[in-house]
């Protein structure tokens, strides 16, 4: 009971002066907001921003008007690109300088006539030099579609050449000539009929357990991957701040005054532990609720989330209680704590999900306390896995928590004896 009173006393002091804690709580929200601003509102709906491709039509023909459809005609790429017609190259250059487009496709004059004559026809492609990946994606798609288009064109070359010959002759075609041209297109259509199946191809990812999951099917997938790491990063700095408050109580004599009360040192220590663990757990869960409200993350399997949050709260609290157990002043404690936090952030994949790491670094990240907790949150929030399915990550998190709790108890007892 006395330990609970001591913990409530510390928590009440935090509530009365929450300035620094509120600033630290803003870290994950600010970083997530930057991610949101960088990738655009479409990310929150489960899609990356479309790649904008400019189209300059210098031919003004029927076939030239169909060029934008190479990117937006439908199928799996329909939401990947958007096209914008520009009147001239100067307009395209202005959009490039604003970094408002990834590439420019130019349909030169004589494009349709060259195809009708059976001559080489070229589409000109100009990437935006200010971007790297988007222009490469656009160029690859254009090359792939052009390759398919060349195959279709070769199949229909004979009837096209007949049409061009009649056009150049200036005379009206006979019924037999029209029938021959129609028959040529019919035969070409039969030969390429199998390509119509391309439109029916879809891409899905299959988990090892056999459950099928469409790519981008979850509108909250992006933030479900990114936000847990930012939350854990913020909680580690909040835990450092709470630990430094307890250390300042010791250096300023408050701890000695509490020791004169009729409570044992073990009760004082339990109160400090309870204050840290409860405070961090409440903050972590509050950040998760904010993530659900602001970034529309679906909080799946609450028991799993609570267990993961509790385990990491115990670890973070014990880590900084161990640090203040060996530090002589707040400057040395701050230096040690910041160094450990940054190392854990780098190894645990705080800013980049560890799933994207090379194999060796990924294995390292998954055995780090913050890396295991972060991946456990991702498993539940992004992949919808249950507590049983995420039990390995949860077990690693709690193993670190209990080990660090034991170390903190030993170090704190030594300090109390000293």
Read off the pLDDT of residues 107-132 as tens digits, 9 standing for 90 and up.
999 888 887 777 777 889 999 988 87
Looking from the CA of 226 toward its CB, the CA atoms found within 13 Å total 20
Looking from the CA of 107 toward its CB, the CA atoms found within 13 Å total 26
Point out the least confidently predicted range of 148-157, 172-181, 192-201, 355-364. Answer: 192-201
pLDDT for 373: 94
Q: How confident is the model at residue 84 (pLDDT cuts 50, 70, 90)?
A: very high
Q: Which residue has the higher pLDDT, 309 or 30?
A: 309
Q: How confident is the model at residue 307 (pLDDT cuts 50, 70, 90)?
A: very high
Q: Which residues contact 199 (CB under 8 A, 6 or more apart)?
A: 74, 75
Looking from the CA of 34 toward its CB, the CA atoms found within 13 Å total 7
pLDDT for 162: 67
Read off the pLDDT of residues 207-265 as tens digits, 9 standing for 90 and up.
444 444 433 444 456 778 888 888 898 889 888 888 888 887 776 655 555 555 555 66
Q: Which residue has the higher pLDDT, 230 or 316?
A: 316
pLDDT for 374: 92
Own/partner contacts of 299-306, CB < 8 Å, gap of 24 or more, are 299/381, 300/380, 300/381, 300/384, 301/380, 301/384, 301/385, 301/386, 301/387, 303/387, 304/376, 304/380, 304/385, 304/386, 304/387, 304/390, 304/394, 305/377, 305/380, 305/381
- In whole angstroms, give the CA distance from residue 53 to residue 142: 11
Q: Give the residue-averaged pLDDT of 60-85.
A: 77
- In whole angstroms, give the CA distance from residue 135 to residue 154: 28
pLDDT for 9: 62
CA distances from 397 to 172, 285, 356, 363, 410 (A): 82, 16, 20, 14, 20
Which residue from 90, 222, 70, 210 is spatially nearest to 146, judged by alpha carbons? 70
Computed over its alpha carbons, how large is the radius of gyration of the chain? 32
pLDDT for 216: 40
Looking from the CA of 244 toward its CB, the CA atoms found within 13 Å total 17
The 3-state DSSP class for residue 224 equals helix
Chain centre distance of CA 325: 38
The 3-state DSSP class for residue 217 equals coil
Which residue from 71, 45, 385 is spatially nearest to 217, judged by alpha carbons? 45
- Domains along the chain with CATH numbers: 2-42+220-417 (no CATH), 48-205 (3.40.1710)
What number of residues does the chain have? Answer: 418
Which residue from 207, 173, 181, 214 is spatially nearest to 79, judged by alpha carbons? 214
Chain centre distance of CA 316: 25
Read off the pLDDT of residues 131-174 as tens digits, 9 standing for 90 and up.
877 888 888 888 877 776 666 566 656 666 666 676 677 777 77
Residue 106 phi/psi, 5-degree rounding, is -110, 125
Which residue from 25, 13, 14, 10 is spatially nearest to 273, judged by alpha carbons? 10
Q: Contact, 95 vs 86, CB < 8 A?
A: yes
Read off the pLDDT of residues 34-50 as tens digits, 9 standing for 90 and up.
666 655 455 545 456 68
pLDDT for 131: 83
Question: pTM of the entire structure?
Answer: 0.60
pLDDT at 356 over 80: no
């Amino acid at each position: 009971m006395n330990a609970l009173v001591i913990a409530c006393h510390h928590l009440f002091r935090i509530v009365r002066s929450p300035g620094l804690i509120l600033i630290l709580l803003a870290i994950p929200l600010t970083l997530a907001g930057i991610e949101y601003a960088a990738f655009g509102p479409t990310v929150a709906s489960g899609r990356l921003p479309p790649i904008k491709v400019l189209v300059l039509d210098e031919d003004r023909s029927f076939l030239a008007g169909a060029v934008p459809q190479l990117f937006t005609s439908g199928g799996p790429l329909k939401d990947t690109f958007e096209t914008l017609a520009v009147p001239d190259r100067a307009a395209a250059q202005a959009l490039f300088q604003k970094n408002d487009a990834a590439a420019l496709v130019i349909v030169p004059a004589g494009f349709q006539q060259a195809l009708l004559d059976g001559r080489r026809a070229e589409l000109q492609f100009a990437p935006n030099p200010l971007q790297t990946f988007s222009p490469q994606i656009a160029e690859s798609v254009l090359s792939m579609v052009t390759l398919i288009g060349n195959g279709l064109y070769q199949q229909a070359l004979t009837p096209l050449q007949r049409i061009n010959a009649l056009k150049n002759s200036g005379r009206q075609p006979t019924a037999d000539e029209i029938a021959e041209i129609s028959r040529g297109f019919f035969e070409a259509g039969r030969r390429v009929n199998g390509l119509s199946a391309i439109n029916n191809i879809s891409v899905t990812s299959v988990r090892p357990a056999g459950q099928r999951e469409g790519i981008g099917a979850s509108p909250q997938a992006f933030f479900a991957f990114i936000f847990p790491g930012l939350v854990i990063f913020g909680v580690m700095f909040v835990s450092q701040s709470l630990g430094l408050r307890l250390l300042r109580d010791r250096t300023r004599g408050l701890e000695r005054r509490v020791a004169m009360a009729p409570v044992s040192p073990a009760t004082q220590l339990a109160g400090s532990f309870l204050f840290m663990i409860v405070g961090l757990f409440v903050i972590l869960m509050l950040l998760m609720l904010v993530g659900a409200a602001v970034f529309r993350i679906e909080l799946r399997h609450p028991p799993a989330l609570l267990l993961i949050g509790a385990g990491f709260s115990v670890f973070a609290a014990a880590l900084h209680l161990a640090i203040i157990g060996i530090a002589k002043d707040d400057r040395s404690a701050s230096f040690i704590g910041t160094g450990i936090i940054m190392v854990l952030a780098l190894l645990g994949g705080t800013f980049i999900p560890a799933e994207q790491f090379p194999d060796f670094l990924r294995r390292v990240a998954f055995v780090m306390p913050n890396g295991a907790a972060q991946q456990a949150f991702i498993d539940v929030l992004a992949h919808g896995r249950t507590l049983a399915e995420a039990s390995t990550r949860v077990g690693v998190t709690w193993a670190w928590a209990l080990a660090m709790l034991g170390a903190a108890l030993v170090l704190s007892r030594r300090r109390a004896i000293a």
